A = this chain, B = another copy of it.
């Protein structure tokens, strides 16, 4: 084993070899991690790849940003089920000539976010690779039968979204346009935050009938809820909480905001604010029989058009 690889394993081992907790009974150092779920809870598992030149570019994203984007992708999936994260696992492929500073900053930032959100690193794998690859796995739990699925939206339900949308896309378009922008800590493109508290609030109070995190963009993610719930939807352009730096188009189709999109029955009173986040009602779920073929968006004068879903853009370099 090369010296650098051994050092890296020791470094990560140190991050994970904390005293065993009541949840992580055994972290790195055995063939498997051993975790203890609470009684009458189900296990949640999510895995997300972050690949250099696909999900991030080294010339755009500092290592600390790559770590945030990687871990938040996983945690946001737990948030979208209304779950509680128990532990994360990180599989890292690193090019042999990657500067040690890159690795140190990545791991330092990863550790910082994981610590702040109290999600211990309980395992993973390390390898050399031609380009950086990080696969994040998060294990979480939710009380049996209380995880919020994508498939629970019913005709008549109202559609809600937390926070503001389009911010991350606005930064991304600046990057594509070749503009130099600083990776500010406040930027949601560079340092996204999972909405764990809001997700758990909605699940615990049984307010949400369906939920998803906005990773691909509102138009795509609302389509996922509609497909899984076998319904359609209408949203109001004027009700979309467009971030100050963004346009309506960015808010509708931009990815990486990691806000929560959820539905709730018409008669349920959804708070205007949850866990410090503004909550906006943006539309309504319709039966496929009654509604038009696709998701509709109404503009301020009441004109309706079909909202075509436009997926999240990979950062693939143009060949």
Residues of A within 8 A of B (CB): 1, 25-26, 29-37, 42-49, 51, 53-55, 76-78, 80-81, 83, 87, 89, 91-93, 122-131, 133, 135, 137, 139-140, 142, 144, 147, 149-151, 211-213, 228, 311, 314, 316
Q: Which residues of B contact A49 (CB under 8 A)?
A: 91-93, 125-127, 129, 133, 135
The smallest C-beta distance from A211 to any residue of chain B, in angstroms, reads 8
Are the C-beta atoms of A133 and B93 separated by less than 8 Å? yes
Contact between chains at B316 and A123 (CB < 8 Å): no
**Which B residues are in CB contact (< 8 Å) with A137?**
45, 47, 89, 137
A125 touches B44 (CB 8 A): no
Known contacts A55-B127, A91-B49, A127-B54; A34 and B25 CB within 8 A of each other: no
Q: Is there an interface contact between B140 and A228, defined as CB atoms closer than 8 Å?
A: no
A-B contact pairs, 10 of them (CB 8 A): A31-B211, A35-B42, A35-B45, A45-B137, A47-B137, A51-B93, A51-B133, A54-B128, A91-B135, A131-B131
Q: Which 9 A-B pairs have the closest CB atoms?
A: A31-B80, A135-B135, A32-B44, A31-B77, A35-B43, A32-B46, A49-B125, A49-B127, A91-B135
* Residues in chain B near residue A127, CB distance under 8 A: 49, 51, 54-55, 314
Q: Are B26 and A34 in contact (CB under 8 A)?
A: no
B residues less than 8 Å from A48 (CB atoms): 91, 125
Smallest CB separation, A147 vs chain B (Å): 6
Q: Are B150 and A30 in contact (CB under 8 A)?
A: yes
**How distant is the Cα of A149 from the Cα of B25 in the complex, in angstroms?**
11
User: Are A31 and B213 in contact, with the CB atoms below 8 A?
Assistant: yes
Given A43-B139, A44-B34, A150-B29, also A131-B128 (CB < 8 A): no
CB distance from A279 to the nearest CB of B (A): 19
A30 to B83, CA, bound (A): 13
User: Given A37-B37, A43-B139, A81-B31: A130 and B128 within 8 A (CB)?
Assistant: no
